[in-house]
A and B are shown apart, each in its own frame.
Chain A
């Protein structure tokens, strides 16, 4: 489906103690089904705010957001979120955490055995079939984040929203999870919007990179098509001139154009 997710003239204004603060303005973006989009920009540029608008956790002050031709009003399981700090419930096992989501989405019309199957399948998809009955405090940070991804995917969302999902992990774990995410997206055909501040991550994973200007009143500065063929291999990309060219473009946006703007502001 073309223009699966449509954002038109979205604007976000927060009422703070210091007065009205315009976080985002004039946001126009369309996302195709099965596309992988990353939002990149400096801290405070409103990329998480934009993602929260799509998630429905914040409501846009102005403008329209449509998903599959329906207006986004409030949060819902068809827009699953992988939170930065995993947000697993510590009193439930990995299985319990994923099952809570599965039960909510499919509980109305599927048998208990089927719900259990779905939960197990989601955990196996992220390679955690063996840790199913552990509690979050018994597993590593990378594993927790994988449970978070399993929970989101198990809902079979229309869009998977990821807010700096690997930001808190060490570089090696992060690389492993990026590879795994690429595999999962290939297998499931998921539509993904991911917030990141990591240039390499953006180029490696994305079909398009949405680069945002600095706030306040942040907006979309440039959109970069990543034409690298899939499946992508991080080792092969290291010698790929296209990869370096794309990477250079993102760096140029972030460290030349946006830095200058920051000084002017």
Chain B
């Protein structure tokens, strides 16, 4: 079929993916791929990769896979950001074509939120939540692996768009009718909708999983009010995910139907209602920003209390404020579009609800400060990120309140003031929190510390780079610069500030390089954590050796108070006083290839639907159904870990008596 091949070539490789820089990246990817294949084959790692990683259901290994994905995506999103800043540094430049610029800001936003921040958060959930509550795994280990592979294949589907077919280009919010076929005929937006639907299914399942885990799997004695704050934040985030993701999935699916099957939910013609999409999107989108930050409130609560060597101040108030944020966050979504003519009563209501949500958030800030008050503050890297977070987040929150003032928002909407605000809270809150958690729990995940000196270099570069990048953007907003502008005329007075901002972005790029160097160096030469409790921690995960054995706890601990491990240490107890007769056989989940295959099948579905290659999509669907059926009738989903194995493992760690 010679006539078929040119068609295929033009569909898969249109001119938009044949820019010189993309061709260069193609070449690099192919070379790296061949190199990796060669390395894996030469060192005979394929079996190891399959048995130990691709089929694993162990929450600790899933955490590592989430973490790797998140850092790779941080790199991709960061490169996008550097490209954007390069384009914007000077007026009327053409660093790249306009069409490519539109793709780059779209992928930057989408990747940073859905494929960097979310998996990074899930990496922390998976790494420590079961350990903190004294459990051997999450409630549904197999679903946990499915969540990961759905996310991973969603991310892969989204990321191949820039080499095959063309990237989405409608912004991370993908407002219709611009996403309709009339304005956007390429496959890019199909990629966006399908990748987010697939990854979103994984996220929803993670929400279910961790909600059940935190509710049902806690060790005896760990009542709700004795849970570590990070576990509270996990529980609340999971509840948020559970109710926030369905509107997103609906909105994405309806947009996809408009594109693939000719419906007109949101189209320009035939009575489409684009504003309905906007409502659905932000009905998800506002809880989403709290999904992105509440887990880090949990991380900060752990970090500040550990490194101030002091109890968390006002624990009940922290819980109440987090619950208040959870409920209020469902009632503020219209503040993302005060300028869509919702009328004064609606706008005033949502302005007030937005201000209301600032109160519990402010309360938390005071509680963190008073946790340090009367403590002994150790300036480790994890604590430095916490200390950077407080002032940064307060300023970000203050600009958020300014945006909540409805008439002021008429001026700020879609301007660089808004851009500066949300980077201020997302980088200052989410990214600093993620890195704080990374440095804090790294020894627990990998058995060695990240080098503190190198970590401090990366921290200061991030912190200084952040402020140099985003302070000018607040001012640019006041000068009337709006978001997603490809370029701007001379004479608006925007270029000085843009140059400064780009300079700051370069510093943040250097910070990323320093971070990766720090990680690689520490993996090779880092100080081993032999005690399992390098920070003099307070919660149960520090009672275990680092890295944690497969079964986590040889004997499930009994909890009598908050900060259970701290209290045990005060009483001179530990979990290392195990007697041989304490150890019993343990039921553990069995590894399974189903989650990986399910993810791969969904990838095939997504790819087929993106290009409307229906036979491929149907093959994928068959794969999905087979995986689900097989999983449903697979009763051999666990195995017994013999007590002898556990005894010898514990003995080798020096934790067995007699």
Pair from one complex: no
B residues near A (Cβ < 8 Å) are none
